[in-house]
Structure 1
Amino acid sequence: MFEILTPAQFLTSPWRNGGGVTHEIAKAEQDGRWLWRLSVAEVASDGPFSHFPGMARILTVIEGAGMVLDTPDGPLAAQPLHPVGFSGETSVVGRLLNGQIRDLNVIYDPLRVRAEVRLWQGEAVQSHDRGMTGLFALSDGVHANGQTVPEGAMVLGHGFTLQGGQGLLLHLDQQSPT
């Protein structure tokens, strides 16, 4: 069972600091807290990141030259199509390298969810049976079980085979409490 979510279905919110916009793709909650949230951000200016206590983040630049994430532990390079992970509690200030960017964000509870993101180059791949598999289409030509996935859309679920095009492949696997 899977669905194809197009940008017209994303929930759009401007940032309080005026530095960008978030397009929420999907989220899962449990006991009144996020398990995970997927979104695309349009970052128009340098500035601080929102804090997400108890959460972890994976950010992948999907458009633009990238940015430097200044943290108390030193800078992190957010280069195009190279996922970078960090704690949602970390104080981060983003510095754009050469104009605005767009990025895909996976925010998740690391005590309850294991998450991974990687660049996918169109090879046939079957979704995981466990957890949630997603693909953010970076190009046309992506197909899920023969259905066309438009550029900028997200395939989300399980029980599908992906072929063609390019995208960011992600997997979210809920962990058993210890």
Structure 2
Amino acid sequence: MRVIRKTPRDFVPKPWKNGLGVTREIHIHPEGANFEEDSFLWRLSSADVTAGGPFSFFPGCDRSLFLLSGDGLDLELRGVKVSLAAPFSSIRFKGEDEVMCSLPGGACTDFNIFCRRSGVSCEYRKIPVTALQKRLFLLGDWTVLFCLRGGVAAEWEGEWTKLEGMELLVLEDYPADFSLTCRGAPDGEILLVTLTARD
């Protein structure tokens, strides 16, 4: 089993694919893959969105986008307008969709999951983590624990680590019955991302 812990100091600045901004690459699989050449299977990133405009195209990918901070993000895609206003609200869409964004309240920060549609599926859920211990059974082939807010302690097989906001664990090659426990501050919340390779 492999456990990778990352903090914002580990994130790598990368230009947006359309050249209109800069993102912070949080993790990419396989490691060392080039997102500009579309050689990745899945990828996590975060960006400060400071102006409206079109999203980059990622044909063959499914995208999930979360609002981390700011006063909202308005999106228009497939002829429909969608507003992300609440903290950690999210939307799924295809990488080949034409998406325009606008900022009704100024700059905001987002979090993105990119998955190669032919190679991997993605499920996620937000989990409140309080002082009470919570046990999580890990499914899929890769699991990401991304701390949205508060401080969260994770324990597994005699090991433990503490995550603060924007810090994460990436777990892979774990056995089928693997689980870990989490506990945190009263306002602690994590995003649990499960990625499963397609046959």
2:64 touches 2:93 (CA, 8 Å); kept in 1? yes
1:28 touches 1:35 (CA, 8 Å); kept in 2? yes
Name the TM-score, length of structure 2 as normaliser: 0.79
Q: Give distance in 2, aligned partners of 1:25 and 1:127.
A: 24
Q: List per-residue Cα deviations over 1:111-140 (Å, max 9, x = no partner).
A: 221112222211614251431111221223
Deviates further, 83-92 or 153-162: 153-162
Q: List per-residue Cα deviations over 1:99-122 (Å, max 9, x = no partner).
A: 111111001012221112222211
Report runs of 4+ in structure 1 exceeding 6 Å deviation.
none
Change (3 A) 1:81 1:163: same
Deviates further, 162-171 or 118-127: 118-127
1:58 touches 1:117 (CA, 8 Å); kept in 2? no
Deviates further, 82-91 or 138-147: 138-147
Change (3 A) 1:16 1:170: closer
Tell me, yes or no, if structure 1 residue 113 matches structure 2 residue 113.
no
Q: List per-residue Cα deviations over 1:57-92 (Å, max 9, x = no partner).
A: 000001112211111331122233122100000010
**What's the counterpart of residue 149 of structure 2?**
139
**What's the counterpart of residue 149 of structure 1?**
163
Q: Give distance in 2, aligned partners of 1:174 and 1:21.
A: 29
Provide structure 1 residue ranges, at least 5 long, that are not aligned to the other structure: none
Change (3 A) 1:157 1:148: same
Name the TM-score, length of structure 1 as normaliser: 0.88
**What's the counterpart of residue 111 of structure 2?**
104
C-alpha RMSD of the superposition: 2.1
**What's the counterpart of residue 193 of structure 2?**
170
2:147 touches 2:166 (CA, 8 Å); kept in 1? yes
**What's the counterpart of residue 10 of structure 1?**
11
Q: Residues 55-66 of structure 1 correspond to what in structure 2 (within 5 A)?
A: 55-66=61-72
1:127 touches 1:133 (CA, 8 Å); kept in 2? no
If you compute each CA radius of gyration, which structure gives the higher value, 1 or 2?
Answer: 2
Q: Give distance in 1, aligned partners of 2:60 and 2:145.
A: 25
Instruction: Describe the SS at the equivalent of 1:34.
Output: coil
**What's the counterpart of residue 25 of structure 2?**
24
Q: Residues 123-134 of structure 1 correspond to what in structure 2 (within 5 A)?
A: 124-134=134-144
How many residues are paired up?
Answer: 175
**What's the counterpart of residue 99 of structure 2?**
92
Tell me, yes or no, if structure 1 residue 122 matches structure 2 residue 129.
yes
Provide structure 2 residue ranges, at least 5 long, that are not aligned to the other structure: 173-177
